[in-house]
A and B are shown apart, each in its own frame.
Chain A
Amino acid sequence: MGKADITVGVLMLALCGFAFSQALQFPGSESVVGGLGPAFFPLFVITGMAILGLVVLIRGLVTMAKPKAADLSLGMLRTPALLLCIVAAYVMLMGLTGFSVSTPLFLIGVMLIWRVQWTKAALVGLGLTLILYIFFQKVLRIPLPSGILFGG
């Protein structure tokens, strides 16, 4: 993987460093008679992770000379990132307006972006919202968010 491995290795080690510094503040083994304190297990796991991170980093440095096509690039992340932003907006809207208003908007919105026919999108969006609403609220009796604007 070459370059990507270097990035991944560095990230792995950074994560270990962060988790390690946190774990040092946990009470040590002296706090438990004949046993291990809360810090032992995380520290043990982090040590293992750090060794693996180092291996990945070194392997990345060694194979850097021969880069492969599979390296990460930001361009290919555009569609997933767009989708995530829309989902985040959907969740925020759900907090405001509740499930039954935000869900059809989300469904129909995404379908239109991906060029699904208007009629089909509206049908699926409204139909699915209705089915989910009945299934959760009436059949399973699991409350769905009602939002701070319309419900209490």
Chain B
Amino acid sequence: MGIFGLYTLGWPYVLDAYVLFMVCLGTVIGIVVGTLPGLTTTMSVAVMTPLTFTMSPQAAFALLMGTYCGAQYGCAISAVLVNIPGTPAGLMTILDGYPMAQRGEAGRALGLSIWGSFIGGIVGIAVLGFFAPPIAEFALRFGSQEYFGVMVFGLSVIVYVSYGSMIKGLFSGLLGILLGCIGFDPVTAYPRYYFGSVDLMGGLELIPMMIGCFGVAELLSIAEKKMSLPKAIYKITIRSLFPTLVEFIKLIPTLIRSSLIGLFIGILPAAGGTIASIVAYGVEKRCSKNPERFGHGAPEGVTAAETANNSSTGGAMIPFLTLGIPGDAVTAVLIGALLIHGLQPGPMLFQNNPEVVSSMFILLALSNFLFVIFGIVWANGFARLINVSYGIMVPTIMTLCVVGSYAIRNSFFDIGVLGFFGILGFLMKKVEMSPAPMVLGFILGPMIENNLRRGLISSFGDFSTFFTRPLSALFLSLTLLVLVSPYIVQLFTGRKMERIVETD
């Protein structure tokens, strides 16, 4: 694929009435779900995945990419209006967005987050389109040993950025790997941990597990807290959503800095929008002439957080598409979606289905334009959604979870899997153990085992092969560094390193 292939190859597939309808539908659904307080981006994409089952890959990703982008923006609405972050990245939007809304500038804050998200998103997609094909090309030369190294590294970073204690995060990741062992073993086809059940022999189904962990578990938490929300009573005029020319020019440096920060952080495997928005916010505060305004409704704060958050989404796509490593919970869900369409993410995807990769990039860009349009035209309608009571929201989404899990292979057994992981995910959150590493471990585990065992067969059982091949050795050393560094920092400074709080 040439440099511009990523931008051009997919157009014939995208310019189709059905696909275009799906991307519009996805964007609206995403904004709606993102706006509803307590519902996360990951959850919205996970719940939508089974619906794409019978669609073409392009239509499926139109719906999912639209949902992804829409939900990213929708979270800003609940952050600004009622002080509740839909996603972890929303934490930084709250800091200045909510004070602005209280000052009667809700429209202005929303406008800034729309335009910041849009510019960040477009920059991310445009620049990273250049990087993805060469990285994929390079990764084609990877053998089992290199894949083993990269995947172990991916898993370690994911554990690091999940909330709660790192020990529990690691346990959660390993538990996922163990769950991935259920069913036929990849080399000898010996059935493991199937307990005499035919349904378990082929392994656990990924989608019901994910919907359980990210959907049902979340709904149970909402039911427990019986969230009663402050009513949002702000009236938003369409005019207020457009910043003035003077204001926009003043924000240009912020936009550039935050886009670049988001971009850079997004490329790192597993370091997604949350870290990007935190870093961008911090940098902006330091660059500002009057940093004391930050936290009391500074427009730069909202812009920086939203811009960096969205420019990192293009970046997070890179390890996901080129290496097949999920960067965060959302890309893990997207891997599940690719798999149900018979597509294996990784460098071969660029070789075998370049049109699919390209249409994903185009659809991502398209949904960036769409959420701006819908976000502006229906701003008041979306804002009113916040007042929907949990009594309607919870059963509605629960129905979608149940029906979606059933629909994957018309199986009531999968509804059981959904329930099991719903309860497990809920209880894990109660004891400060994030379920996200478990899902990622479940995806990566079988790949890690497969590459480990194939690597060993090709080296005739010699383990040193993983440490003597340079790239594999590099990634394994990085893994060690990631896992040990917080403790070393603690040892030298006598202070605990602050960890990123991730709520989904």
Contact = CB atoms under 8 A, between A and B. Distances in A.
B171 interface: yes
A19 interface: yes
Contacts of B178: 19, 42, 45-46, 49
B197 interface: no
A8 B223 CA distance: 23
Nearest to B433: A8
A151 interface: no
Contacts, number: 157
Contacts of A90: 402
A42 B51 CA distance: 34
Given A80-B426, A103-B399, A4 B431 contact: yes
Interface in B123-144: none
A34 B432 contact: no
Given A19-B178, A27-B190, A76-B224, A52 B394 contact: no
A135 B402 contact: no
A61 interface: no
A62 interface: no
Contact of B188 (A34, A38, A140): A38
Contacts of A114: 389-391, 394
Contact of A106 (B55, B188, B399, B432): B399
Contacts of B205: none
B223 A38 contact: no
Contact of B452 (A12, A36, A120): A36
Nearest to B174: A49
B193 A19 contact: yes
Contacts of A145: 406, 410, 412
A25 B391 CA distance: 48
A15 B438 CA distance: 15
A90 B418 CA distance: 14
A53 B171 contact: yes
Nearest to B171: A52
A112 B399 CA distance: 16
B415 interface: yes
Interface of A: 1, 4-5, 8, 12, 15, 19, 22-23, 26-27, 31-32, 34-38, 41-42, 45-46, 48-49, 52-53, 55-56, 59, 72, 76-77, 79-80, 83-84, 87-88, 90-91, 94-95, 99, 103, 106-107, 110-111, 114-116, 120-121, 124, 128, 132, 135-136, 140-145
